[in-house]
Amino acid sequence: MTATGRIDADVCIVGAGAGGAVAAAELAEGGAKVVVLEQGPHHDADRFSARPIEMMTALYRDGGQGVTLGTPPIVLPLGRGIGGTTLVNSGTCFRTPAAVLERWQREYGLHELTVQALDPCFARVERALSVAEVTPELAGANAAVARRGAEALGWSHGYLRRNASGCVGSGVCAFGCPTSAKQHTGITYVPRAQAAGAEILTGAQVHRVLVRDGRTRGVQASLDGGGGLHVHAPEVIVAAGTIHTPLLLERSGLGDSSGQLGQNLALHPATGAFARMEEIVDMARGVPQSFYIDEFSAQGLMFEGVAGPPSYVAMSLPLTGARHAEAMADYRRLAQFGLMVSDSSRGSVRSFAGRPLIRYDLVEADLARFRTGLARMRELFEAAGAREVYLPLPHGVAPERARPRDLKLMAFHPLGTARADARPTHGVVDGQLRLHGVEGLHVADGSVVPSSLGVNPQITIMALATRLAYHLLSRPCPS
């Protein structure tokens, strides 16, 4: 996968994650000559060791320790390489909620993005990824603990739908699936694209998108092995992800006529609580994210399973010293569940010395959501029969008194930094994901999603990329 010089293509795609890989396969199978430039490497599943620290270094940007600047600082893990973050996510698949699509129509003028219009795109993605509900047996004992608590409290819950086929519950979805059961884009859409003739180049750093007279001409890149590369293409799809797409557009001097480029960053700030149970849980045996509780989703709170091997728990467990060691000695009886907030806070991304600088401060409304959510998590585990509950707060701090700096947060699902809005004065791309004011330049990743979804976004991004591909092929998406 190396090349130098000049390549001519119908479509050049920057990034092989959730958006880029899907667009590449659909376009190549539709007869287009496609070139994909991916900054990261191809990951060989033979090297997946089920050891979190080793795998984080290999599969994540900055070893999974990228952090936002603000109060509180939030760890924002992002995948890198063929498959992008789909390689390291939990595999959860939710369609875009109808209420969110209605909001997009109302607030952003995206009238074409209706439930009906997107249905064939979602169905196509779900078929390609073998999306199915997790069975209780595969979900494991960690999910059973949460289910027991939710049932005792009468909270709405269910098993999640995931893109997995032949899963045996290895428990390390976030660290490289050793069975290749998780149907990430690197083993689904990318091989399809290659089989249809697409050229996939790894280690390709795209410097600029080239535009002349308001028309896209291609991209300028360099390759890890040395040498420059010009891809000449009348259509370019930028799919470098919510954090890096605005930086590429900024470097290219494009997309900021509205002043919205790099703004409106939405995240799902999240945290996890632990409980010490009477029974053996062995949380890493089973699907880590297999069960959800949506009782409080209208309040912006979503509870989803999370779990992992001892080393992962050792890093996440909100205890120190002897208490940490004592709880870890009882690892087999530890259960964990996650809390994800649909945020009102908005951040920004800009370039600093060539790297993304992410600014994000938690607003009062989101702090209130975390206070409520953490109190609910305590209720959940107590209802499930926990001997002890460990909330991610400093010792002695009750949820209702938590301050932003007390929260130990991670964030997932960054969205919105090149948001879609029908009005050129308010958004970076239009409803067809075309950059306002430039012919032939499109964006197909989380950056176009104009608001928080409240659910995991991977198949929203994939459905939008599918729709874009068929738009460029001038055909309707097959139903």
Partner 1 sequence: MRLIVALARRPRGARLLAALAPVHQLAVGLLAMEHYEDPVIARELGWDADAVAARGRALRREEGRP
Residue 234: alpha-carbon gap to chain centroid: 29
Q: How far is the CB of 169 from partner 1 (least distance, A)?
A: 10
170/260 with CB nearer partner 1: 170
Is the Cβ of residue 148 or residue 285 nearer to partner 1 in the bound state? 285
Return d(Cα 344, Cα 302) in angstroms, integer: 14
Cα dihedral value 231, 206, 15, 115, nearest 10: -90
**Quick one: which of 448, 466, 27 has its CA closest to 238?**
448
CB of 178 to partner 1, least distance (A): 2
Smallest gap from Cβ 276 to partner 1, in A, equals 14
| Contact between 256 and 250 (Cβ < 8 Å) | yes
Closest by CA to 463, choosing from 187, 216, 206, 112, is 112
Q: How far is the CB of 343 from partner 1 (least distance, A)?
A: 20
Query: Which is closer to partner 1, CB of 162 or CB of 436?
Result: 162
Closer Cβ to partner 1, 67 or 473, answer by number: 67
Q: Which is nearer to partner 1, 23 or 181 (CB)?
A: 181
Tell me the C-alpha to C-alpha distance, in Å, between residue 423 and each of 104, 111, 386, 430, 441: 12, 12, 52, 7, 17
CB of 49 to partner 1, least distance (A): 5
Active-site residue list = 413
Using an 8 Å Cβ cutoff, are 459 and 95 in contact? Answer: yes
Residue 328, number of CB atoms within 10 A of its CB: 15
**Comparison of 180 and 344: residue with beta carbon closer to partner 1:** 180
- Residue 304's closest CA among 202, 410, 450, 389? 410
Residue 340's nearest CA partner among 294, 307, 308 is 294
**Is there a contact between 392 and 378 (Cβ–Cβ < 8 Å)?**
no
Please identify, using beta-carbon distances, which residue of 330 and 364 lies nearer to partner 1.
Answer: 330
Of 38 and 295, the one with the shorter C-beta distance to partner 1 is 38
Q: Are 172 and 180 in contact (CB under 8 A)?
A: no
Amino acid at 430: D
As a whole number of angstroms, the distance between CA 447 and CA 419 comes to: 6
- Contact between 306 and 336 under an 8 Å Cβ cutoff? The reply is yes
Following DSSP, what letter does each residue of 327-390 receive, concatenated?
A: HHHTGGGEEEEEEEE-----BEEEEETTEEEEE----HHHHHHHHHHHHHHHHHHHHTT-SEEE
Q: Report the residue number, 243 or 409, with the smaller CB distance to partner 1.
A: 409
Cα separation, 221 vs 230, in Å, equals 6
Residue whose structure tokens are 């590369």: 229
The residues that touch partner 1, with contacts defined as CB under 8 A, are 45-46, 48-54, 56-57, 62-65, 67, 73, 166, 168, 170-172, 177-181, 187, 191, 282, 284, 309-317, 320, 324, 328-329, 331-332, 408
* CA 359 – CA 139 distance, rounded (Å): 36
Q: b/e map of 193-204 (b: 16 or more CB within 10 Å)?
A: bbebebbbbbbb
CA angle (336, 342, 346) in 5-degree steps: 125
